């Protein structure tokens, strides 16, 4: 059975991580249910010169063509699309990743708010005990940030700051992006060869 993973882009810096993660999930044959905030559209343009359309159907067509996604692998939903499958505990995704994740989104999830579909999907994952991975891109962390992350961690949420390691001797920004994306894929149990694992000979995707 094809796995379903919800992926959300919010307005934190770090859009290259989210876009690369989307590419890798689709390449692995994972069905992705993509959500994105309005501020994520601004960040995508600023960081990647990528214009994300306001209409979900257009975003779906954009990424399906860009990454050669097989038919039915990618579904994109609006932030207020309450009839989307992942809005209900009767049809939760197998896992969810918010990458990048703003501190506002993280705080809303910690507080149990569901003011939009991104927060509601995360809330569904929590109540249905499905894996939830948050990739918060902020520095330094305030005490409140840390308290919210600790609260979520105690609920079983994976807090995965995008902190690339350098023992792989990265040569490009893409190498550092791939390091972080590889760690996210590991949390999801999605096979990859993005980076060489510790003690192994490099076998990196082209």
Q: Tell me: is residue 3 an annotated ligand-binding position.
A: no
Q: Tell me: is residue 199 an annotated ligand-binding position.
A: no
Q: Tell me: is residue 115 an annotated ligand-binding position.
A: no
- Per-residue pLDDT of 36-56, as tens digits, reads 999 999 999 999 999 999 999
Q: Tell me: is residue 153 an annotated ligand-binding position.
A: no
> What's the pLDDT band for 20 if we cut at 50, 70, 90?
very high
Other beta carbons within 10 angstroms of residue 152's beta carbon come to 21
6 near 35, Cβ under 8 Å? yes
Q: In what order do the strands lie in the sheet with 132-136?
A: 74-76, 31-36, 4-9, 95-101, 132-136, 158-159
Q: Tell me: is residue 137 an annotated ligand-binding position.
A: yes
CA distance 22 to 8: 10
Q: Tell me: is residue 172 an annotated ligand-binding position.
A: no
Q: Tell me: is residue 15 an annotated ligand-binding position.
A: no
**What is the distance, to the nearest Å, from the Cα of residue 10 to the centroid of all Cα atoms in its chain?**
9
Q: Is 105 left (phi over 0), alpha (psi -120 to 50) or beta?
A: alpha
Q: Tell me: is residue 37 an annotated ligand-binding position.
A: yes
Rounded mean pLDDT of 22-31? 97
Q: What is the mean pLDDT of the chain?
A: 95
142 near 112, Cβ under 8 Å? no
Q: Tell me: is residue 167 an annotated ligand-binding position.
A: yes
- pLDDT at residue 118 tops 70: yes
CA distance 3 to 25: 10
Rounded mean pLDDT of 198-206? 63
Rounded mean pLDDT of 97-116? 97
26 near 52, Cβ under 8 Å? no
Select the CATH number that applies to the domain covering 4-188 from these four: 3.30.420.280, 3.40.50.1000, 3.30.1490.100, 3.40.50.1950: 3.40.50.1950
The pTM assigned to this predicted structure is: 0.94
CA distance 157 to 126: 8
- Per-residue pLDDT of 147-173, as tens digits, reads 999 999 999 999 999 999 999 999 999
């Amino acid at each position: 059975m094809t796995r379903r993973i919800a992926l959300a882009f919010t307005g934190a810096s770090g859009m290259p991580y989210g876009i690369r993660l989307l590419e890798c999930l689709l390449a692995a044959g994972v069905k992705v249910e993509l959500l994105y905030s309005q501020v994520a559209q601004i960040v995508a343009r600023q960081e990647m010169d990528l214009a994300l359309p306001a209409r979900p159907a257009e975003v779906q067509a954009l990424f399906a063509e860009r990454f050669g996604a097989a038919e039915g692998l990618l579904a994109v939903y609006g932030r207020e699309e309450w009839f989307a499958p992942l809005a209900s505990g009767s049809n939760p995704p197998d896992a969810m990743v918010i990458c990048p994740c703003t501190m506002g989104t993280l705080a809303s999830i910690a507080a149990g708010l569901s003011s939009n579909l991104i927060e509601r999907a995360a809330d569904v994952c929590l109540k249905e005990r499905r894996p939830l991975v948050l990739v918060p891109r902020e520095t330094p962390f305030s005490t409140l940030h840390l308290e919210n992350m600790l609260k979520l961690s105690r609920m079983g949420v994976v807090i995965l700051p995008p902190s690339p390691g350098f023992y792989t001797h990265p040569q490009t920004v893409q190498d550092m992006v791939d390091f972080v994306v590889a760690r996210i894929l590991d949390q999801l149990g999605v096979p990859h060869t993005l980076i060489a694992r510790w003690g192994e000979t490099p076998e990196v995707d082209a």
